[in-house]
C-alpha cells in the first residue's frame, strides 16, 4: 500500500488495452496498410485480418462470422440496430419496447424515434434493477417491431433475464408476429459472461472493444441471418452492404484479438474479478455502517460494485479517492456537469440520499488484490471523514434560497 499507487477502478467506463491486443494491431498501422477492399496483396492481407477478427467475434457470442457487422463502437451498434429496424419495418408497426435503465445510446435513439411518430414503452425495473419478463410479454402488441433490453447495466451491473424475454418474443413470432425483433446492448457483458445468441434468442446484439481490453472506436453489431435492417450511412458496399466506409483495420484486428483473449480467459477472469469484488464489498460492509449495495440480490456482472454510502456525497468521495490516485465514478446529482441524478438509480427507487451517496467501483481483468486493499483503506477513511465533517442531523438548519 503506497501513497503514490494508481488504481483504476472505472473499467465500466473504459479499460486499458491488453499488451497482446496492442501487439496484434501494430502491423496494420505501417506494414500491412492495405485497404481491405483493394485487390493487391496489401489489401488482401488487410481483408484476411478483418475476416479473422470476424471469426473471433462470432466465436465469442456463438454466431456465424457472416452475421457480424463491424462498426465504430457501442453507440453506433445501438443506433444501427434500433434505427435500422425502425426504418426497415415501420410499414408493419411503429411500437418499440425498451427499459428505463438503458444506456443513452439506446434511450436517446428511442426518444428520437418517438419524435418521428414511433411509440416507445419504457419498462420499469424492480428495486434490485431487473426488468420483469412478464411485463415485457404483456407490453408486446401487434404493431411491436422491436424489443431492446440491455444484457447488463453499466451503472449497477445487473444482468437482465434475456432468455425468458427471448422465449416470449419467439412465442409471439410463432403466433404470427413475423416483424418482431429482439435486440440487446451487450456492451458491458461481452467478454465478461458467456454469450450464446441462440440461447438468448436475440436478432441483434451490440458490443464494443474498449470495455474488454480492446481499443476505443471499434465495435460490432450481430445481425441474425435474414434480418432486414435499414442503414445509418450511405456509401460503398462494405460489410455486406450494412455499413459503408473503409474498415478501421487496426481497430477491428484489436477488437478480434481482445474478443479472442476474453473468450479464452472468460471463466478465469470472471472468477478473479468476482472474488475481488466480493472481497471489496465484504470489507466495506465490515468497516462502515449505513451502506447499501445497489443491485444486490439480482444476478450481477462479476466486476461491478455500486455502493450507496448514506450521509455523504458521492462526488466528494470520488474527489477524495482521485487525490489518492484511485479512479471511480458516481451517479450522484450535480456531478459531471449535470444537475440530473442518474436515471438508472432513480429507476431503482432509491432515496435521494442513497442516490447522492452512490459510488461505482468497476474492476478489470488486470485489477490486483493490492489495489483493492488500497481502495478499501482509502474509501473507508474518506467516508468516515466526510461523515464526521457533516453537521449533526438533530441540529436544526435554516432553509436557504
Ligand X SMILES: Cc1ncc(COP(=O)(O)O)c(C=O)c1O
Given the complex with ligand X, which of 154 and 158 has the nearer CB atom? 154
Residue 251 binds to ligand X (criterion: CB under 6 A): no
Q: In the bound complex, what is the minimum distance in angstroms from residue 188's beta carbon to ligand X?
A: 5
By CB under 6 A, the residues from 334 to 363 that bind ligand FES are: 334
Binding letters toward ligand FES, positions 214-243, x by CB under 6 A: ------------------------------
β-sheet bridge partners, residue 68: 222
CB 127 within 8 A of CB 133: no
Of 313, 328, 360, 361, which lies in the binding site for other proteins, with binding defined by CB under 8 A? 313
Angle at 26 between CA 259 and CA 236, to 5 degrees: 75
Quote the distance between the C-alpha of residue 323 and its chain's center. Answer: 27
DSSP designation for 177: -
Of 32, 185, 203, 239, which lies in the binding site for ligand X, with binding defined by CB under 6 A? 185
- What is the DSSP track for 197-219? HHHHT-SEEEEEGGGTTS-TT-E
Residue 130 binds to ligand X (criterion: CB under 6 A): no
Query: How far is the CA of 99 from the CAs of 59, 282, 346, in angstroms?
Result: 28, 30, 13
Residue whose C-alpha is closest to residue 375's, from 331, 330, 336, 328:
328
Residue whose C-alpha is closest to residue 102's, from 140, 60, 158:
158
Residue 3 binds to other proteins (criterion: CB under 8 A): no
Q: What is the largest CA-CA distance in the chain?
A: 79
Stretch that binds other proteins, among 33-41, 123-131, 183-191, 386-394 (CB under 8 A): 386-394
Can 110 be counted among the known catalytic residues? no
Sheet holding 181-185, edge to edge: 68-71, 219-223, 204-208, 181-185, 144-148, 95-99, 119-123
Of 249, 333, 344, 383, which lies in the binding site for other proteins, with binding defined by CB under 8 A? 333
Residue whose C-alpha is closest to residue 237's, from 228, 226, 246:
246
Length of the chain: 401
Of 144, 227, 316, 329, which lies in the binding site for other proteins, with binding defined by CB under 8 A? 316
Residue 386 binds to other proteins (criterion: CB under 8 A): yes
Residue 399 binds to other proteins (criterion: CB under 8 A): yes
| Angle between helix 249-287 and helix 369-389 axes, rounded to 10 deg | 60
Q: Which of 16, 310, 334, 386 is catalytic?
A: 334
What are the cell numbers at 276? 475481488
Which residues have CB under 8 Å from 47's CB, separation 6+? 34, 36, 37
What is the spatial distance between Cα 334 and Cα 348, in angstroms, rounded to a whole number? 19
Given the complex with ligand X, which of 78 and 247 has the nearer CB atom? 78
Binding letters toward other proteins, positions 265-304, x by CB under 8 A: ----------------------------------------
Residue 155 binds to ligand X (criterion: CB under 6 A): no
Helix (H, G, I), strand (E, B) or coil at 220: strand
Q: Which does 91 bind (CB under 5 to 8 A by kind): other proteins, ligand X, ligand FES, none?
A: none
Binding letters toward other proteins, positions 337-376, x by CB under 8 A: x-x------------xx--x--------------------
Residue 105 binds to ligand X (criterion: CB under 6 A): yes
Q: In the bound complex, what is the minimum distance in angstroms from residue 393's beta carbon to ligand FES?
A: 18
Task: Catalogue the active-site residues.
Answer: 334
User: Which residues of the shown chain bind other proteins in the complex (CB under 8 A)?
Assistant: 311-313, 315-316, 319-320, 323, 332-335, 337, 339, 352-353, 356, 386, 388-392, 395-401
Site residues (CB under 6 A) for ligand X?
A: 73-75, 78, 103, 105, 150, 154, 185, 187-188, 208, 219
Amino acid at each position: 500500500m503506497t501513497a503514490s499507487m494508481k488504481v483504476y477502478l472505472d473499467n465500466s467506463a473504459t479499460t486499458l488495452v491488453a499488451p497482446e491486443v496492442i501487439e496484434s494491431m501494430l502491423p496494420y498501422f505501417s506494414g500491412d496498410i492495405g485497404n481491405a477492399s483493394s485487390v493487391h496483396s496489401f489489401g488482401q492481407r488487410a481483408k484476411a485480418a478483418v475476416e479473422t477478427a470476424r471469426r473471433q467475434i462470432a466465436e465469442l457470442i456463438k454466431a456465424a462470422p457472416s452475421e457480424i457487422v463491424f462498426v465504430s463502437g457501442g453507440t453506433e451498434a445501438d443506433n444501427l440496430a434500433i434505427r435500422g429496424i425502425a426504418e426497415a419495418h415501420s410499414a408493419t408497426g411503429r411500437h418499440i419496447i425498451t427499459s428505463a435503465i438503458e444506456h443513452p445510446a439506446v434511450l436517446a435513439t428511442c426518444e428520437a424515434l418517438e419524435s418521428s411518430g414511433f411509440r416507445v414503452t419504457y419498462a420499469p425495473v424492480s428495486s434490485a434493477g431487473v426488468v420483469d419478463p412478464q411485463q415485457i410479454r404483456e407490453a408486446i402488441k401487434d404493431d411491436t417491431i422491436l424489443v431492446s433490453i440491455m444484457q447488463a447495466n453499466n451503472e449497477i451491473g445487473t444482468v437482465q433475464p434475456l432468455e425468458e424475454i427471448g422465449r416470449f418474443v419467439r412465442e409471439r413470432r410463432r403466433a404470427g408476429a413475423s416483424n418482431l425483433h429482439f435486440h440487446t446492448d451487450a456492451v458491458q457483458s461481452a467478454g465478461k459472461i458467456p454469450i450464446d445468441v441462440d440461447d438468448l434468442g436475440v436478432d441483434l446484439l451490440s458490443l464494443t472493444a474498449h470495455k474488454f481490453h480492446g481499443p476505443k472506436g471499434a465495435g460490432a453489431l450481430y445481425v441474425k441471418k435474414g434480418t432486414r435492417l435499414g442503414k445509418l450511412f450511405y456509401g460503398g458496399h462494405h460489410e455486406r452492404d450494412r455499413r459503408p466506409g473503409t474498415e478501421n483495420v487496426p481497430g477491428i484486428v484489436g477488437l478480434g484479438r481482445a474478443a479472442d483473449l476474453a473468450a479464452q480467459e472468460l471463466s478465469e477472469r470472471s472468477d478473479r474479478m468476482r472474488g475481488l469484488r466480493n472481497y471489496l464489498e465484504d470489507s466495506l460492509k465490515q468497516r462502515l455502517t449505513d451502506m447499501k449495495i445497489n443491485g444486490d440480490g439480482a444476478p450481477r456482472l462479476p466486476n461491478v460494485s455500486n455502493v450507496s454510502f448514506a450521509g455523504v456525497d458521492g462526488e466528494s468521495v470520488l474527489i477524495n479517492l482521485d487525490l489518492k490516485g484511485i479512479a471511480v465514478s458516481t451517479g450522484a446529482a450535480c456531478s459531471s456537469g449535470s444537475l440530473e441524478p442518474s436515471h438508472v438509480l432513480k429507476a431503482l427507487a432509491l432515496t435521494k440520499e442513497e442516490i447522492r451517496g452512490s459510488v461505482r467501483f468497476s474492476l478489470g481483468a488486470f485489477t490486483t488484490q493490492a489495489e483493492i486493499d488500497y481502495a478499501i483503506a482509502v474509501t473507508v477513511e474518506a467516508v468516515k471523514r466526510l461523515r464526521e465533517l457533516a453537521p449533526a442531523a438533530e441540529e436544526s438548519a435554516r432553509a436557504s434560497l
